[in-house]
Structure 1
């Protein structure tokens, strides 16, 4: 039973109402006289800073407040129609936390220089991709191609959309190339391939989300293009984090940018043409413009199970949070929705929400964080999906129950999870 938490929820609702009233009063008093810096301090920075992001050497890094990326209820609600859930078997994760600033991951391969940097806006490490054409091979993905998979990553760009560039795009390429490390100067090498593109150029490459399929028979070649506000509108601003989600299931490929499905092609892959690898490619024409990529997540086992609770427990890797925070990332919405629907099928049961962290940080801090994360999921289930509080309980065990004892970025991502246990 969570009587205490119910009371706490009511308290915070009342507190929020009072804060909203105070904010309105303040806005009426200050009107438009307050400058942008103070406005950001009081009400949060909803605008975009046009200044170039500060990129620091690792020795100069300092901790800053958690990014407010999607850390509000209204933005979380925008994902109400988001139906992407990641594969259950997490095979690879990379946030460059173990890569030094200025370096390149040792297991990756490329034909052109690129490096890991720290973007001060997000207090995270990113792969900086600049001018020229390049191919990138992530060995752990290229050598472990699943017939069906999900792929996710975050991207940022540092240019304005109304600034001319002949080519500005980042591609995910599926092909029949047997050796992913060959023809690095020719990213689209192969008898047949399908690529998914984030395009923000003015000429070659186009703007928006693009899928192109080349087959061994020209009659079955296909393409589709969908404009998107963050890639096409002249008002789109730099230095904002966007999330890409891709799912391949049989011959069908779907792609999402933030909460919107931008690509859905049922015959994106020819049934008789076997892809053997995944590679990444970029082409940026201006020398002073860049893409930044991070939080790459690759998973298999995309089958939709008849029941989430195998052996009365579900390890929800699709629920993610801001680093060191209990603030849910909005792409968690679809996974929480699936859990809610499963609970609704069996309302006579009780369920425990258990937060798990990786081994980074102090033990006591991890216990506290894991419990707060479980509480965040609990609140969404009752407030957004009307699950009866009486059948839910929470716990946080920190890093005491790891699924793996390895210390790689992928292993840490596997251990960071929310478990829903039928009790």
Structure 2
């Protein structure tokens, strides 16, 4: 009897295993006893209910608490395979601008419609780590500490982890800084909560020291990551070791939500003037902060992050000479070219931080009522020639659409053209060259 019972149990187990591995059918259920059939049906119902509940919860979270369900943001430094080539686009740093990109894209772009940051038009440095191996320190940077290139979740975007440390600096291989230039980069913070220190900051330092010191002349901005209070952005400068007018002040800013959502940081230096934006909002505008003609080096430093818990990553650093008023150039020469209009990777969706340039173009058209423009899109050489040609056409059309839909420019005054990869101005074998080739031209017609 015991043997028979054991055989029956084994038989039932095997039957249920087959049942679940082959996605049930009615004929198999008929072979089971009524009790087993009901048990199997209840199991299926419970599984369906669990999956339905998960999806419902996720949907409700996205409606009731938008933005509360962030990706797990688990950095992955495993790997070591050869890095993939850069897609014809940008996660923020190296692409041209594009279209309004549908209802959600249009809404985001509208938020940036008053954004007045204009990136420089002569690229000095760009790095998205496309040519680095995962797990290595990026080849175009120097440090007296450590760090590595990682990916996060399933995203192909690469990030450099910045580690906290007293006088630990991260120095990109940017040529000597000119008098007028712009800096842009993206940040990703992981592990922040209401216990994150009020002194947890990332410092952006412009210095006359080429190595790992502050130097005799510098200006610095401390971006805060504290979550329990609005700390503000601390601004400091030293001129000739503090012998001349020192700035040491906290500019009011509540960045608690922004730093949780991969903020885009923009900085413009125009001789002595220092301005800083977080996403679309300008927080700092100091007319005489920068020691004129003295600063040469860009550095980053991280302070008071809890080791192993709170982590910070940086990507898409772009430094460009200029950042001047494009309106005067367009009016005086009838032509202006920029690689500061950014697109999503392989897409014609305009990244909203590009709206400063598009806004200036709209202001020219408002002032010069007889001016008409041709908008020309260009790509780098990654990917298929025909696909790049089509992408460049879509991006030019996207810029036109933004001018029409956001700034009310008449569509009859604008025409578009795509050149694809056919007219490079930089070396498509390097990240810097590709970023130069991804550009948009505005030509008076």
SS of residue in 1 equivalent to 2:222 = strand
Q: Which residue of 1 aligns with 2:135?
A: 102
Report the Cα distance in structure 2 between the residues aligned to 1:68 and 1:35, rounded to whole angstroms: 30
SS of residue in 2 equivalent to 1:344 = helix
Report the Cα distance in structure 2 between the residues aligned to 1:95 and 1:401, rounded to whole angstroms: 23
Summarize the Cα distance change of 1:144–1:34 in structure 2 as closer, same or farther, 3 Å threshold.
Answer: same
User: Does the CA-based 8 Å contact 1:166-1:285 persist in structure 2?
Assistant: no
Q: Which residue of 2 aligns with 1:4?
A: none
Shift of 1:309: 5.6
Alignment pair present for 1:281 and 2:281: no
Shift of 1:167: 4.2
Report the Cα distance in structure 2 between the residues aligned to 1:257 and 1:337, rounded to whole angstroms: 18
The counterpart of 1:257, out of the listed 278, 287, 290, is 278
- TM alignment of 1:152-163, pairs within 5 A: 152-163=184-195
Alignment pair present for 1:164 and 2:164: no
- TM alignment of 1:326-405, pairs within 5 A: 326-405=348-427
Task: Could you tell me which runs of 5 or more consecutive residues in structure 1 were left unpaired when the two chains were aligned.
Answer: 1-31
1:255-279 deviation line (CA, Å, top 9, x unaligned): 01011111111121245x7223322
User: Does the CA-based 8 Å contact 1:242-1:258 persist in structure 2?
Assistant: yes
Summarize the Cα distance change of 1:119–1:44 in structure 2 as closer, same or farther, 3 Å threshold.
Answer: farther
Report the Cα distance in structure 1 between the residues aligned to 2:75 and 2:64, rounded to whole angstroms: 23
User: Does the CA-based 8 Å contact 2:119-2:340 persist in structure 1?
Assistant: yes
Shift of 1:361: 0.9
User: Does the CA-based 8 Å contact 1:355-1:398 persist in structure 2?
Assistant: yes
Summarize the Cα distance change of 1:291–1:240 in structure 2 as closer, same or farther, 3 Å threshold.
Answer: same
Alignment pair present for 1:200 and 2:225: yes
Where has structure 1 moved over 6 Å in runs of 4 or more? 40-45, 60-64, 66-70
Q: Which residue of 1 aligns with 2:32?
A: none
User: Does the CA-based 8 Å contact 1:210-1:224 persist in structure 2?
Assistant: yes
Q: Which residue of 1 aligns with 2:23?
A: none
* Segment of structure 1 superposing worse, 397-406 or 345-354: 345-354
Report the Cα distance in structure 1 between the residues aligned to 2:366 and 2:318, rounded to whole angstroms: 29
Shift of 1:95: 1.0
User: Does the CA-based 8 Å contact 2:339-2:440 persist in structure 1?
Assistant: yes
Q: Which residue of 2 aligns with 1:214?
A: 238
Alignment pair present for 1:299 and 2:320: yes
Q: Which residue of 1 aligns with 2:165?
A: 132
Report the Cα distance in structure 2 between the residues aligned to 1:161 and 1:237, rounded to whole angstroms: 13
Summarize the Cα distance change of 1:33–1:161 in structure 2 as closer, same or farther, 3 Å threshold.
Answer: closer
1:18-74 deviation line (CA, Å, top 9, x unaligned): xxxxxxxxxxxxxx996243568999974432634352645599999x999996222
Report the Cα distance in structure 1 between the residues aligned to 2:121 and 2:151, rounded to whole angstroms: 30
Q: Which residue of 1 aligns with 2:346?
A: 324
Output the aligned Cα RMSD. 3.3
- TM alignment of 1:62-77, pairs within 5 A: 72-77=105-110
Report the Cα distance in structure 1 between the residues aligned to 2:253 and 2:401, rounded to whole angstroms: 32
Summarize the Cα distance change of 1:37–1:208 in structure 2 as closer, same or farther, 3 Å threshold.
Answer: same
Shift of 1:176: 2.7
User: Does the CA-based 8 Å contact 1:53-1:239 persist in structure 2?
Assistant: no
Report the Cα distance in structure 2 between the residues aligned to 1:44 and 1:318, rounded to whole angstroms: 33
Summarize the Cα distance change of 1:161–1:43 in structure 2 as closer, same or farther, 3 Å threshold.
Answer: closer
Shift of 1:209: 2.1
Q: Which residue of 2 aligns with 1:15?
A: none
Summarize the Cα distance change of 1:225–1:105 in structure 2 as closer, same or farther, 3 Å threshold.
Answer: same
Report the Cα distance in structure 2 between the residues aligned to 1:285 and 1:116, rounded to whole angstroms: 19
Determine which structure has the larger helix proportion and give its number. Answer: 2
- TM alignment of 1:228-243, pairs within 5 A: 228-230=253-255, 233=256, 236=257, 240-243=261-264
Could you say which structure has the larger radius of gyration? 2
Task: Could you tell me which runs of 5 or more consecutive residues in structure 2 were left unpaired when the two chains were aligned.
Answer: 1-52, 93-100
Summarize the Cα distance change of 1:313–1:358 in structure 2 as closer, same or farther, 3 Å threshold.
Answer: same
Summarize the Cα distance change of 1:314–1:39 in structure 2 as closer, same or farther, 3 Å threshold.
Answer: farther
Report the Cα distance in structure 2 between the residues aligned to 1:345 and 1:294, rounded to whole angstroms: 37
Shift of 1:359: 0.8
User: Does the CA-based 8 Å contact 2:222-2:235 persist in structure 1?
Assistant: yes
SS of residue in 2 equivalent to 1:220 = coil
Q: Which residue of 2 aligns with 1:111?
A: 144
Report the Cα distance in structure 2 between the residues aligned to 1:154 and 1:212, rounded to whole angstroms: 22
Q: Which residue of 2 aligns with 1:51?
A: 72
SS of residue in 2 equivalent to 1:102 = coil
Report the Cα distance in structure 2 between the residues aligned to 1:360 and 1:68, rounded to whole angstroms: 15
Report the Cα distance in structure 1 between the residues aligned to 2:220 and 2:405, rounded to whole angstroms: 40
Q: Output the TM-score relative to the length of structure 1.
A: 0.79
Q: Which residue of 1 aligns with 2:431?
A: 409
User: Does the CA-based 8 Å contact 1:154-1:242 persist in structure 2?
Assistant: yes
